[in-house]
Amino acid sequence: MTCLHLPHKVADFACPINGLEDMYEWKTGFRLPGYFLMDLSMMGFGYIKQKNAPSPRLVFWGTGTGRPQHELLADIIGYCWTCSEGKSFPASWKLVRQSLERGFPVILGLIDMYHLPYYPRFYHTVHIPQHYVLLVGCDEVKQVAYVQDNGLTEVQSIPLTDLKEAWNVNVPRQGKKNTLFILEFNDRIATLEEIVTKGLKKKANLILNPPVGFMGIKGLRKLCADITNWPRELTEKQMEDSLTSLVTFTCSVVPMLPQRLLPFKLNQPDNHNAVRDRFSRELLGFADQFNHPEWEEPASLLAKSGRLIGQLTEIFTDQLLKKSYDMNAAVPLITEIADLEKKAFHLLA
């Protein structure tokens, strides 16, 4: 049996970043506060057109989990990372065991919570193929893996038969089966203040000068120019699917349809501000903590952008309920969102 002993931060809905945060605390003795690292690594924008997909127009108010997060954070925090994806379970499990023997835990994900027995609410009941865990040990005799999960305090065990199924997740543009990440920290690891300062600048530059035209401010401008063409270019079913996807990903908590489109009451209400609301509050807190009053204005601008995204969500929710689509009302809102975010990130760059 091999098992590494790491500190563990419980943070609901923060599974993509939770393993990294546990390893950071393990190496530094300092627990990163709140959801800032999650929000910093994920906030953004993307607009993708895909001709033959069920949702031919995809609008994301973030940058995704896994690879994009480590691409942003590795040089800011001070670690090197390797990723393996798409291999067979035996080959991937061999990499996990080798990493544990070297003293490095392994981030696994995407994972389907349908196959996690320590979540009886979901086990063999509900497919949620969007989860991540930090694998800290295994017992080859008992044929179990030991993981730290962002929603639970104690180390959890997963039979390898369940893990094999849970890890067999392929989600287009998000992750391939048996994806794992191994992180090795540098001797010099950034402090919280350094993470915030360097992270804001890097995030701002990526949004202002994205590597591809469908991301960041360029992507918002492209959506603004294109969205009035949707009703002419798409069937009614494609419109419904594309707008349903859009309002799902304006979430600030976890990807979920707005309350008015659901047949049940949500336990965790979401104002669909696309994380801008929480990020704005975090930015104001750090402005005071680290004596950066110049961060207060971009925080205010991002909060306003978030409220407009909430209004946009309401407009599209109305249209989905009425099954009547008029994109003209969205254009001034998207234009103002782009203007606000351009100004906010210029101030942070």
Quickly list DSSP for 247-263: HHTT-SSSS---GGG-S
pLDDT-derived band at 174 (thresholds 50, 70, 90) equals confident
pLDDT-derived band at 75 (thresholds 50, 70, 90) equals very high
Judge whether residue 173 has pLDDT over 80.
no
pLDDT for 320 equals 96
- Own/partner pairs for 198-201, CB < 8 Å, 24+ apart? 198/76, 199/40, 199/72, 199/73, 199/76, 200/40, 200/283, 200/295, 200/348, 201/348, 201/349
Structure tokens, 298: 């971009």
> Phi first, then psi: what are they for 192, rounded to 5°?
-60, -45
pLDDT for 109 equals 95
The CATH number of 2-32+79-185, from 3.90.70, 2.60.290, 3.40.720, 3.30.40, is 3.90.70
Mean pLDDT of 272-292: 98
pLDDT for 43 equals 93
pLDDT for 65 equals 92
Question: Using one digit for the tens of pLDDT, what is the confidence trace for 10-33?
Answer: 999 999 999 999 999 999 999 999
For residue 120, give every residue at least 6 positions away whose Cβ sits within 8 Å of its Cβ, in sequence order, or none.
none
CA–CA distance, 277 with 189 (Å, rounded to integer): 29
pTM over 0.85: yes
Which value, to the nearest 10 degrees, does the dihedral of the CA atoms of residues 31, 33, 37, 40 take?
-160
pLDDT-derived band at 154 (thresholds 50, 70, 90) equals very high
Q: Any idea where the domains of the chain sit in the sequence?
A: 2-32+79-185, 192-348
pLDDT for 217 equals 98
Mean pLDDT of 294-302: 99
Find, among 340, 331, 339, 338, the residue nearest to 312 by Cα. 331
Using CA of residue 313, residue 214, residue 336, residue 56, what is the dihedral sign?
A: negative
Q: Please report, as a single letter, which amino acid is at residue 96.
A: V
Question: Using one digit for the tens of pLDDT, what is the confidence trace for 218-253?
Answer: 999 999 999 999 999 999 999 999 999 999 999 998
CA–CA distance, 6 with 74 (Å, rounded to integer): 20
Is residue 14 within 8 A of residue 35, CB to CB? The reply is: yes
| Placement of tokens 């997740």 in the chain | 169
Give the Cβ contact number of residue 51 at 10 Å: 6
Question: Using one digit for the tens of pLDDT, what is the confidence trace for 44-71?
Answer: 999 999 887 778 999 999 988 999 999 9
Find, among 12, 96, 7, 46, the residue nearest to 206 by Cα. 46
Question: Longest Cα pair distance anywhere in the chain, in angstroms?
Answer: 63
Structure tokens, 324: 């009547």
